[in-house]
Structure 1
Amino acid sequence: MSRTRIVKGTYTKVSEKGHNMYSNENIVTSASRVLTENGKENGVFLGSPKAPPAKTGKIRDIVMFIAGTTDPLNITGKKHEANTKYWRGIDKENQESKVNFWAKIKDLKFQFLDLHIEGDFFSWSGDNDTKERNLGSTRLLDKFLKIYPFWTNQDVHIHLVGHSHGGNVINQFTELIATNSKFPKSWKIKSITYLSTPFFQKKHQLNHSRLHADCKIINVHNEYDLTQQLIANFSLVNLEGLLKAFQIEKFERGINIVKGIKTEYITQYLKGWYSEKKANLAWKEMSDAFLGLNLIILEVINYINSIKIDNSKLEAEKNSFITLLNSALKWTYDVHQNYSGGTRRDKIAWASNLNLTQGITTINTLLDIRTGVRDSYFLNLLAKVFAESQGITDSIDLTLWDPKKQTKALTVIDINITKSDPYHTRGKMSNFKRFISGTTSAMQSNNLQEVLMRLFSQFLSPDSLVKINNYLDYAEYVVTGNLDAQVKILRRNLLVYQRLVTEYNADLVAENDKSITLAERPGSVAYLATASHSLSHTQFWADVEKELRSAFSSGVNPGYKKKS
């Protein structure tokens, strides 16, 4: 609302005791001739603006959004990644969503007498790092004081909405304002809405001292949210980002090539009578098989190289591992080329093409495993990388979807959106519960090797390893001596991995979804860690709206008319 007063004559204002003007923005005074200010006794004083006197009976509501982790790998170097853009739901045509949480909550602004919805101002680095979340809470306090400096004497009720680790920034904020004298005494937190927040058991605990006596705690969660229940256990760098570090399409291409190998052509060639047709078909399948393996190894190299490690000893181990992988990469490429060309198709050429002396020792070193996850070279190396305060992980703290430990006596309004996840229609709830239960149990036992193997097993199928072992069975028909011994070692290693994949693969993906790209495939680790985790801020849930409306204190606007 604005007002303009025009006086054609002289305008005189006389105040017997004083005259004060306050503005949330600017005060502009201008004159066509002379502007005179005169302080007869003490002169004219210029100083910092002060807050206006408190208005009794008037309460202002402020809604502030706090985004979650946007750079799990901490590699961008950008320091204000978690901001309003996070909430806007930009589609492929670069258009903002008109139905998501952010879009719909803005419709409430004029339905209340003094409701302010802030989303354009606050940002933090978004790094998946305990220190950055702490700094984010300090930045949040600074923003409140900069945006509302004239309200420090007013009754203000704050409503905080945080997605993912944004909820932990909120918790750290409550700890900060408990002792920070800058936070106005008349301000209270009236509601906190957690959207898919992973609640830590040790750090980022909720401090109740500046909460309103009737503070509402609203918790929106999805039972398929893998990030909230598992991945967020890792601070500094979490598995969500590391999974994204794969070149998904290339990785999937390699797996699909291996899956598509027609092993019967190889069997017919090796076990049956020779024919040129059989040989040509078998050669093509072998060429494709090693191309698939080559693509998989290449993506594993890219994945490992994306991991930044400050521990010099561990960095040396990583580099040694990469050297082994590069040897395997060259071997699989050479074998692929051998089977792609040449005119000789007899079984001597078959054995020669495998270049086993070049690659099998490397492969056996990489895949060395005796009985289980604890004695796997590959898994032990990765476990060191993820170990708390050793590699890329600052800390490991088990997370839960339920904030009851933190909220204590406060009532938690739980809003379960599981059935709104498209994945729920696949009927895989029991499979997912079995998967998350086993993985969480391994985490509680500090068995990172098993945690990693359970995750990796969701990318593989037992059938794919059966096919590879079948190739090795066939190879034993034509190799002798040391090569035969190395093939037997490789087959033994792969049989152990095959057993583990068979045990840990939870069959999370429905058959009809297996043709969907990995990142968008319902039930894939990538989907459960991202799509299921983000679902909570894709719409303004009716139950959340109901609870927030009842938490606002400024009063309903009787003059509001809904847009037609």
Structure 2
Amino acid sequence: MSRTRIVKGTYTKVSEKGHSMYSNENIVTNATRTVTEEGTENGLYWGSPKDPPQTARRIIDVVMFVAGTTDPINTTGERHQANTKYWQAIDAELKQKTKESYNNFWHKIQEIKLHYLDLHIEGEFFSWSGDNDTKERNLASERLLDVMLRTYRFWRNQEVHLHLIGHSHGGNVINQFSELITSREMIGKSAILKRNNFTEFPTPWKIKSITYLSTPFFQRKHQLNHGKLHQDCKIINVHNEYDLTQQLIANFSLLNMEGLLKSFQMEKFENGITILKNVKMDLIMQYLKGWYNENKAIAAWREMSNAFLGINLIVQEFIKYIDSITIENSTLANEKQSFISLLRNVLQWTYDVHKNFSGGGRHDKITFARHLKLTQGINTLNILFDIKTGVRDSYILSLLANVFGESRGITDSIDATSWTPQRQTRGLTILDVNITQHDSYNSRRKKSAFDTFLRGTQSAVQSNNLEDLLMRLFSQFIKPAQLQKITEGINAAEYIFTGNLDAQLKILRGNLERYHTLVNQYHAFLVTANDEATIKELDKRPGSLPYLAMTSHSLSHTQFWQQVEDGLRGSFSSGRNPRYQ
């Protein structure tokens, strides 16, 4: 509402006591001739105004959105990925809202704003990286308080009821915020809050409700502090039983997340896997085992060229992934460089073999053997894929387990997460909203397979067997039959090699057979055959690990669930607007 007062004559305002003016924006004084101000006794002061006094019987409701980890590893490396665009579902390419945007949590809650006398919704100004990183979440809690105190600076003496809504690790930012606001010491140490001379949380302010959307609740850190909770504080918890991030991935709080996977290009990784899957191993086998036939030889050449192209693309992306990881541990950093050196040998070898089989010339089996350049590549492969009995003595799994080990490589801490805040709320009533049935994956009838897979991965984390965890995860990207084909191809190649090369091939086949046993044991067949054939994008393919980690994890903020709406309405304190009964 705006108001303009025009006085044609002289306008005089006399106050027997004090006269105060407060504005949430600007106060402008403009005169054609002169502006005169005088402080007869104490002079004039600038820059230290007092806050407006409390208005009797006024309660202000403030809803604050805190974004989290839609992308649990922030592959884009953006500094403020968790921002208002996140909630409003603005298409990153089109730079505009989509049809889905107008039905999501953010837009639907805006519709009830006018139903209450003093309800304010803030989601425009607060942002943070969204990284799965303890330090980033702590800084985000300080930014959250800073934004609140700047945005609502004239309400510090008013009774304000905060309603905090956090998706994913946004819920843990809220928990850390609850710890921060109870400690003047923590506030005083914050460089972010010092910039605006903020030293304490306003006494009349209380947290009236917290809505957790797919938040992974830690057992040790980011615990909910009850010191500034309203006595009637309501806890709302929305969760999806297919959410892999909440129940597994968030266990790992990683260091230096920004740019960790910035150079990783999933489409290239997927391209390599697709090319490898489409290799017709039967054509190669017919050529190796049968009598010479030119047409069969040409077909085998083509399939060999494609096979090594696929491997080459996969190795390229894997090198980028490993090389992007910053490791402070000097011993482990040296191991990483040795590993990358081995991978580069493989990269060069697969490229050379791909080029050999792409060219023309003779197609006899002697040339076939020469084109493989096995002397160049097989020793490196046997080092990389060395595995004696199981996951614990696998070279590559042990190396990666060290990289992801707690306080060793890139992992700050490993803390088993839970889907429920029950341990933290200590007796507060929790409104539980289970949205599992709304996940598209639920219609695939794979719940039992998913639960078995999840139990296995969680058990590996609890027993600190990261090698086993990694093997279970890797096994979802390849089927036992596909690895079996590669093993059979090596077995067939042994027919045309003798001496040391034959011995090295047998070692490689033995290593791959042991990996095949593990893949056969751990591949959970989470994706239906129809989805695998028709949906190419992994994050849109129900049951794939990217889908379970991102799409299932994001479902909670795509709708304003009826139970959540009812719960929030019941927690607002400012009173219903009689015009919207």
Class of the TM-score when normalised by the shorter of the 2 chains: over 0.9
Matched, 1:430 2:430: no
Partners of 1:69 and 1:490 in 2: CA distance: 40
2:55 alignment partner in structure 1: 55
Structure 1 residues 328 and 93 mapped into 2: Cα distance closer, same or farther (>3 Å)?
Answer: same
SS in 1 for 2:495: coil
Segments of 5+ residues of structure 2 without an aligned counterpart are: 185-198
Matched, 1:212 2:253: no
Partners of 2:82 and 2:75 in 1: CA distance: 14
SS in 2 for 1:63: strand
Within 5 Å, which residues of 2 pair with 1:492-507?
A: 492-507=510-525
Partners of 2:14 and 2:292 in 1: CA distance: 114
Within 5 Å, which residues of 2 pair with 1:20-99?
A: 20-46=20-46, 48-69=48-69, 79-91=79-91, 92-96=93-97, 97-99=101-103
Query: C-alpha deviations, 1:432-475, integer Å up to 9, x for none?
Result: 11111000000000000011111111111111101001101111
Structure 1 position 44, deviation (Å): 4.0
1:162 alignment partner in structure 2: 166
1:354 alignment partner in structure 2: 372
Structure 1 position 328, deviation (Å): 1.1
Amino acid across the alignment from 1:163 = H
Structure 1 residues 495 and 384 mapped into 2: Cα distance closer, same or farther (>3 Å)?
Answer: same
| 8 Å contact kept, 1:64–1:118 | yes
- Out of 413-422 and 194-203, give the one that drifted further: 413-422
1:453 alignment partner in structure 2: 471
Matched, 1:409 2:423: no
- Out of 360-369 and 326-335, give the one that drifted further: 326-335
Query: C-alpha deviations, 1:489-530, integer Å up to 9, x for none?
Result: 000000011111111111111111113222322111111111
2:146 alignment partner in structure 1: 142
Within 5 Å, which residues of 2 pair with 1:506-525?
A: 506-515=524-533, 516-517=535-536, 518-525=538-545
Matched, 1:14 2:34: no
Within 5 Å, which residues of 2 pair with 1:229-308?
A: 229-237=247-255, 246-308=264-326
Amino acid across the alignment from 2:162 = I
Partners of 2:516 and 2:215 in 1: CA distance: 35
SS in 2 for 1:213: strand
1:538 alignment partner in structure 2: 558
Partners of 2:45 and 2:273 in 1: CA distance: 76
| 8 Å contact kept, 1:72–1:238 | no
Q: 1:418 aligns with which of 421, 424, 436?
A: 436
Structure 1 position 67, deviation (Å): 1.3
Matched, 1:104 2:108: yes
2:126 alignment partner in structure 1: 122
Structure 1 position 481, deviation (Å): 0.9
| 8 Å contact kept, 2:75–2:261 | no
Partners of 1:263 and 1:27 in 2: CA distance: 78
Within 5 Å, which residues of 2 pair with 1:195-206?
A: 195-206=213-224
Structure 1 residues 228 and 237 mapped into 2: Cα distance closer, same or farther (>3 Å)?
Answer: farther
Partners of 1:271 and 1:13 in 2: CA distance: 106
Amino acid across the alignment from 1:172 = Q
| 8 Å contact kept, 2:163–2:209 | yes
| 8 Å contact kept, 1:73–1:238 | no
| 8 Å contact kept, 1:219–1:414 | yes
Structure 1 position 141, deviation (Å): 1.5
| 8 Å contact kept, 1:227–1:240 | no
Structure 1 residues 498 and 353 mapped into 2: Cα distance closer, same or farther (>3 Å)?
Answer: same
Partners of 1:35 and 1:279 in 2: CA distance: 96
- Out of 81-90 and 437-446, give the one that drifted further: 81-90
- Out of 175-184 and 470-479, give the one that drifted further: 175-184
Structure 1 position 32, deviation (Å): 2.9
SS in 1 for 2:378: helix
Partners of 1:268 and 1:239 in 2: CA distance: 48
Q: 2:117 aligns with which of 110, 113, 116?
A: 113
SS in 2 for 1:98: helix
Matched, 1:468 2:489: no
| 8 Å contact kept, 1:367–1:493 | yes
Partners of 2:337 and 2:88 in 1: CA distance: 41
Amino acid across the alignment from 1:83 = N
Amino acid across the alignment from 2:357 = Y
Structure 1 residues 327 and 29 mapped into 2: Cα distance closer, same or farther (>3 Å)?
Answer: same
Q: 1:553 aligns with which of 573, 576, 581?
A: 573
| 8 Å contact kept, 1:72–1:236 | no
Partners of 1:68 and 1:388 in 2: CA distance: 23
Structure 1 position 86, deviation (Å): 1.9
- Out of 257-266 and 77-86, give the one that drifted further: 77-86
Structure 1 residues 286 and 559 mapped into 2: Cα distance closer, same or farther (>3 Å)?
Answer: same
Structure 1 position 19, deviation (Å): 2.7
Structure 1 residues 43 and 306 mapped into 2: Cα distance closer, same or farther (>3 Å)?
Answer: closer
Cα RMSD after superposing both structures? 2.2
SS in 1 for 2:82: coil
TM-score, reference length from structure 1: 0.94
| 8 Å contact kept, 1:240–1:529 | no
Structure 1 position 190, deviation (Å): 0.3
SS in 1 for 2:306: helix
| 8 Å contact kept, 2:531–2:542 | yes
| 8 Å contact kept, 1:161–1:167 | yes
Structure 1 position 107, deviation (Å): 1.7
Amino acid across the alignment from 1:131 = K
Amino acid across the alignment from 2:96 = Q
Partners of 2:78 and 2:546 in 1: CA distance: 24
**How many residues are aligned here?**
561
2:189 alignment partner in structure 1: none
Matched, 1:153 2:153: no
Query: C-alpha deviations, 1:163-186, integer Å up to 9, x for none?
Result: 111111110110111123611111
TM-score, reference length from structure 2: 0.92
| 8 Å contact kept, 2:480–2:519 | yes
Partners of 1:492 and 1:81 in 2: CA distance: 46
Segments of 5+ residues of structure 1 without an aligned counterpart are: none
- Out of 487-496 and 17-26, give the one that drifted further: 17-26
2:202 alignment partner in structure 1: 184
| 8 Å contact kept, 2:259–2:324 | no
Partners of 1:338 and 1:72 in 2: CA distance: 41
Structure 1 residues 240 and 133 mapped into 2: Cα distance closer, same or farther (>3 Å)?
Answer: closer
Q: 2:135 aligns with which of 107, 131, 135?
A: 131
- Out of 347-356 and 245-254, give the one that drifted further: 245-254
Amino acid across the alignment from 2:133 = D
| 8 Å contact kept, 2:59–2:159 | yes
Structure 1 residues 70 and 402 mapped into 2: Cα distance closer, same or farther (>3 Å)?
Answer: closer
Structure 1 position 292, deviation (Å): 1.9
Partners of 1:357 and 1:336 in 2: CA distance: 15
Structure 1 position 136, deviation (Å): 1.4
Structure 1 residues 28 and 258 mapped into 2: Cα distance closer, same or farther (>3 Å)?
Answer: closer
Structure 1 position 41, deviation (Å): 4.1
Partners of 2:357 and 2:237 in 1: CA distance: 58
Matched, 1:324 2:328: no
| 8 Å contact kept, 1:72–1:241 | no
Query: C-alpha deviations, 1:339-396, integer Å up to 9, x for none?
Result: 2234322222222222111111110000000111000000000001001111111111
Amino acid across the alignment from 2:90 = I
Calculate percent identity across the aligned residue pairs.
66
- Out of 427-436 and 251-260, give the one that drifted further: 251-260
Partners of 1:29 and 1:341 in 2: CA distance: 82
